[in-house]
Structure 1
């Protein structure tokens, strides 16, 4: 059965989409069959994998509205080892937050839609929007675990307690088996003492699994989305590609435990 992981943090700009894309691509390179679901109306995961998001007519929005089946929305990402697939998103998804509120069992709609295909993939990665709204709640209700990217900056711990509180609420009320997959540090700058202090501070204050792999601040990693490629295809020898390969190894190891 496929493992479903929500990549979530209500803060924007912490590396959620970068992590979703590159972790998925590195898992695919390691022979895992991966479905990436873009749950953000900004559609950055979709454009970051080379699709023209605003020309798409089959997205996660149409799936949630029951206009198409989930199978109809899946796109294979070419050149990605035959193992990476995407359910894309675009600005239409912004309307789903409001529409879901009027639906019966609104927190379970995504889970219900993904259930028929869950067993067809080793991993289903859900890239959540930077908010704790109904789309993120749906993603966490559907998932086995939550992976939390944290930027190495002064306010890293701000908002994290709110996210953990939300995860605990979902565990208690909607998805008892949900767990925190782990915290991954992103945008680490080895040249600054601040990055090191943030890592130590979070480790001291957070009673959660923290990945050994730390994602560096890397120019090639920042360039890759504008070329519509994950880092392991854009520059496989970069420090960013190396880091996401190591993160993929840790995620696989976690799953096997």
Structure 2
């Protein structure tokens, strides 16, 4: 299976202009509201892409370092993370590859206690909106996909992630409070798309169910269908305790509990992302 996917990727790229065989595609997971499942999606999908035969890099831009923790690393013990990597790049115009950690094939540019300083560092620069884009140009030929986990805020860190990305994915928790954050995120995307990054594409919305029995989930999902249409919606990630258990073991769900609902859903979502990209 892995061999087939890898071969198909190269064959499609060369003959049909699908996924560029030489340049990474960068996908940012963002929502201005916290607790939407953004980190869970970003980490697990990045790990699934590894198992589909793709060279994947996960970048944790959130000072809370949840993606780093999901991957089994302790942020407090990480001496060099994304902040140090970007700071050194600004001084030397090169990226120290040793800052990238690895977990079962997945490459990770982690977050640590210094990530909180990134916003201030970016604000002091003349090219404050495009620092991450320039930084990633030093890395993108080493990977097929770059996945970026972002903080739940409106600021230069999220702005840099969007400017550096080819695609935006917005997780949406199926409750009515999340619709407010979604509206803000959509507005922010359009501003970035029209002023700073015309090639940034909204790849879709990923619904996150809070309960299989909650009527509000179906109500919100129907609202999303009416507003955005089926084409923008991905399969729903159902509520599953295996997600929490897997993260406590520092493993992606599909490796920890391959027969779980979450593993099934995340696999479907990953396959749909790949289908939309090629």
Counterpart in the other structure of 2:268: 246
Distance (Å, rounded) in 1 between the aligned partners of 2:41 and 2:272 = 14
Give the secondary-structure state (helix, strand or coil) at the position aligned to 1:66.
helix
* TM, length-normalised to structure 1: 0.94
CA gap 1:224/1:237 in 2 versus in 1, 3 angstroms? same
Unaligned runs of 5+ in 1: none
Q: Unpaired segments of 5 or more residues in structure 2?
A: 1-22
TM-score (norm 2): 0.87
The higher relative CO (CA closer than 8 Å, separation ≥ 6) is in 1
1:223 aligns with 2:245: yes
Q: Quote the Cα distance in structure 2 between the aligned partners of 1:207 and 1:96.
A: 36
Aligned length: 252
Of Structure 1 and Structure 2, which has the larger fraction of its residues in helix? 2
* Contact 1:156 1:198 survives alignment (8 Å): no
Report the CA distance between 1:211 and its aligned residue: 3.2
Q: Does 1:119 align with 2:141?
A: yes
Give the distance between the partners of 1:248 and 1:65, measured in 2 at CA.
32
Partner residue in 1 for 2:36: 14
Maintained 8 Å contact 1:182/1:208: no
- Cα pair 1:183 1:209 within 8 Å, conserved: no
Pairwise CA distance, 1:128: 0.6
Q: Deviations over 1:185-204 (max 9, x none)?
A: 01342212111111001111
* Partner of residue 103, structure 2: 77
Q: 2:73, 2:250 within 8 Å by CA — same for their partners in 1?
A: yes
C-alpha contact 2:95 2:138 (8 A) present in aligned 1: no
More strand by share: 1
Structure with higher Rg: it is: 2
Q: Whole-Å Cα distance in 1 between the matches of residues 199 and 27 of structure 2?
A: 12
Provide the C-alpha distance between the structure 2 equivalents of 1:188 and 1:70, rounded to a whole number of angstroms.
40
The one of 116, 119, 123 aligned to 1:94? 116
Q: Runs in 1 of length 4+ with deviation above 3 angstroms?
A: none
SS in 2 for 1:116: coil
